[in-house]
Chains A and B, each alone.
Chain A
Amino acid sequence: MSPEVSTKAPKTGLASLGLDPKPNAPLLEIEDLRTHFELANGTVHAVDGVSLQVHRRTTLGIVGESGSGKTVLSRSAMGLLQAANLAQSGEVRYQGHDIVGMPEKQRRRLWGTEMAMVFQDPMTSLNPVMKIGQQITESLRYHLGMSKSEARETALAGLRAVGIPAAEQRIDEYPHQLSGGMRQRVTIAVALACGPKLLFADEPTTALDVTVQAQILDLLDHQRRERNMGMILVTHDLGVVAGRADVVAVMYAGQVVELAPTEELFTHVRMPYTEALLQAIPKLNQPSHTKLNVISGRPPDLIRPPKGCRFAPRCPYAQPKCIAEAPPLVESSTPGHFYRCWFPVNTSADDAPVNGNHQDTKNQAGHAETTASPLVGSQQGTASQAGGVEVATAASATVTDHQIFPVESGATDDTDDVKD
């Protein structure tokens, strides 16, 4: 693949496409992105209408369980997916320029120099029969047109920057000669080699021990600050994003269900799913043998996602309305905090869209550990539904969301049909 490089002019990057970064545009802007896979038995809605932004020098954390679509989201945002059965819509704008509609040849020129990715498993993402130095110089020579010796010097500096001891010696070793943590440092060096402005880290520490995990997360954070990068940190571990991300998006069944600045998210959870996830994690400050709160049931089938709220079948607060209508992503009274729920939790009396409702359902939830969505208190639910719709519609003005908003008049009637 790699052609002879005669000039030192970069062959890649936004500039090589004749594009300039648009002023005031966020580093990466994802708008109503849908990534679907057509299978024989239906369409998998892996990513279903996600809108997110990443700004320079900030970290966006994407959290979700397996199958929530977080990995497909990060790969489609970088334009890495290629499959015959892939159907994509929506926009991903890098510095203001859409890359979803871009031909692959052009998109390829953004990889490495503009955006790069660190994968989960360092053993499978490194080439086992290639010296690690070569794996770094490959992209330097190709993307930046460096000479052999220049590329080697840069690779050495890169290895030192990611904390590899005796880099002069390590550069000529093969991946199997390194430990798991060292290998992940090498993949980070590979990703950072061409100086990307946006780094995707997809479960970068899942395969590593807890002490090494802390080292790698610190390294990523340090490099992000040093290089003024934007970063997308994808993980299933809420603990990983808690200390490292500026903004956190929680994904469930292909959608963003909650999005907030990290501190706000962890102190004022609104989405019942996020709350349930946090309660399911054993915590060090709890005494031993503390009964954990469980989320009953399983994530939905992404071929036929539930018609209403996708979390409703497992939600302890679910009401008939939740089964009937999909809630839109709305902004709470705290700017920047979005959630996708008709009956959010931790709502205080003054800013409550559904006054009183949550207090009662919260009590129910305490006892409903193992039974899925009791769907009780439907009278109360009906009473508060009107309130929920009003608020949702009011908030919708401020949110770009592509959900179809419910028709207020029909809302109460529909619920009874779907209830069973």
Chain B
Amino acid sequence: MSEPGTAQLRDQSLLRVEHLVVEFPAGRGRKVHAVSDFSIDLAEGETLGLVGESGCGKSTTGRAIMQLPPPTSGSVSFGGTEFTKLSKRELRRQRPRMQMIFQDPISSLNPRRKVGDIVAEPLEIWEIGTPEERQAKVREVLDACGLDPDATMDKYPHEFSGGQCQRICVARALVLDPEVIICDEPVSALDVSVQAQILNLLEDMKDRYGLTLVFIAHDLAVVKNVSDRVAVMYLGKLCETGTPEEVYGSPAHPYTAALLASIPSPEFRADEEREPPLSGELPSPIDPPSGCRFRTRCPSAQEICGRVEPEVRDVGGGHYVACHFPLVGEVSADAANEPVAVDA
């Protein structure tokens, strides 16, 4: 069985994830293969959108980058520092460089602390500046996040709506001037009108503070809106990566095409145009299919897909796909050498 490889990685990158593997024990000696040999990189100032269905390993990938918990194997290199090799102490010193924003803004804020204290806490832990300087920094980030510091600092999280709580979470993530923020489904708990506010806020903050973002979401339209690069995951593997224009405009992986066809569009369209959605459900990550993991649901699967795992290949324009029979570009070398595949 061949390996997916790392063809998609570039020479210059701020964050480089190579051959990332995350496994969890599932009892009786079995393992959940949450992320399997996943490689991706991020250039400085870029937003990487990570999409896939629930259970595809996108959140696990985000957490493994943060070393929460450290991955089973593989490398996470951040600005030249290999995170997986650091001691606990050294890793802790690196932590302020990367921050995280979570899905549920209300439960990720301590209900018994005032907003001003919540946002100031990272500064206190790192003993950055005098109390006055900390206050000034907290006011600055709250203001940048569209909150009036005077009206918010002495209140508790429950006095705010979900959207405002998410603003507070963004402020907390920004207060240490991180280089990378990992946003794990930051808008999926919010109403569409609030979602738009938070997406715009993240874009503004990215420009203002020169951030690099990893944006994890299941909503393809949301990911397209914020990303410079998109990576589609399926069952712990990378399916496809490229610019949003490439991935959405001419999807190369049958899974991406199926995902795009499943989205209910807010523009009215007649019923007859609808393509049949993907049948079946995600197989168990405890015992993933051999070869290409998507083959059990794939409309163009052939015999080789069960035997040989497809390698990530360039299909042009920085667009990479792990598929023997991509919708864009040529069939893989493995598949081309198969007499059976040509027959069928």
Contact = CB atoms under 8 A, between A and B. Distances in A.
Interface string A177-215: 001011000000000000000000000000001111111
B197 A294 contact: yes
Contacts of A211: 53, 258-259, 262, 277-278
A413 to B, nearest CB: 34
Interface in B43-95: 53-54
B53 A214 contact: no
B260 A243 contact: no
Contact of B227 (A242, A262, A288): A288
Given A243-B265, A243-B271, A292-B200, A215 B224 contact: no
Given A209-B53, A286-B225, A289-B226, A281 B200 contact: no
Nearest to A241: B264
A213 to B, nearest CB: 7
B200 A287 contact: no
B317 to A, nearest CB: 15
Contact of A281 (B203, B221, B279): B221
B191 interface: yes
A210 B262 contact: yes
Nearest to A240: B264
B28 interface: no
A267 B267 CA distance: 8
A21 B283 CA distance: 48
Nearest to B275: A214
A287 B53 CA distance: 23
A243 B269 contact: yes
Contacts of A182: 281
Nearest to A215: B277
Given A243-B271, A280-B195, A284-B248, A210 B263 contact: yes
Contact of B260 (A212, A218, A283, A284): A284
Interface residues of A, number: 46
Interface string A247-280: 0000000000000001101110000000011101
Given A242-B267, A284-B224, A284-B260, A214 B277 contact: yes
Contact of A239 (B195, B245, B264, B282): B264
Interface residues of B, number: 46
B120 interface: no
A271 B304 CA distance: 55
Given A209-B218, A210-B220, A277-B193, A237 B264 contact: yes
A281 B224 contact: no
B203 A289 contact: yes
Interface in A225-240: 236-240
B264 to A, nearest CB: 4
Interface centre among A212, A281, A283 (most CB of B within 10 A): A281
Given A284-B224, A288-B225, A236 B191 contact: yes
Contact of A278 (B220, B258, B259, B266): B266
A280 B196 contact: yes
A280 B192 CA distance: 6
A167 to B, nearest CB: 16
Interface string B176-197: 0000000000000001110111
A242 B268 contact: yes
Nearest to A239: B264
B266 A281 contact: yes
B268 A280 contact: no
Nearest to A296: B197
Interface in B231-253: 243-245, 248
A409 to B, nearest CB: 37
A354 to B, nearest CB: 25
B278 A282 contact: no
B290 interface: no
A100 B17 CA distance: 61
B205 interface: no
A100 to B, nearest CB: 29
A133 B264 CA distance: 32
Interface in B212-227: 218-222, 224-227
Contacts of B261: 214
B196 A212 contact: no
B228 interface: yes
Nearest to B277: A214
Contacts of B259: 210-211
B266 A238 contact: yes
A282 B277 contact: no
Given A209-B53, A210-B53, A210-B259, A295 B221 contact: no
B112 interface: no
Contacts of B278: 211, 214-215
A245 to B, nearest CB: 10
Contacts of A236: 191-192
A247 to B, nearest CB: 12
Given A236-B192, A290-B225, 15 more contacts: A66-B191, A210-B262, A214-B277, A238-B266, A243-B269, A266-B267, A278-B266, A280-B193, A281-B196, A281-B221, A284-B265, A288-B224, A289-B203, A291-B203, A294-B196
Of all A-B residue pairs in the complex, the 7 with the closest CB atoms, nearest first, are A214-B277, A239-B264, A266-B268, A282-B225, A292-B196, A295-B193, A280-B196
27 contacts: A182-B281, A209-B53, A209-B218, A210-B53, A210-B219, A210-B220, A210-B262, A211-B53, A211-B259, A213-B262, A215-B277, A239-B264, A242-B264, A242-B268, A243-B271, A266-B266, A281-B192, A281-B196, A281-B266, A282-B224, A283-B266, A289-B225, A291-B203, A292-B200, A294-B196, A294-B197, A294-B200
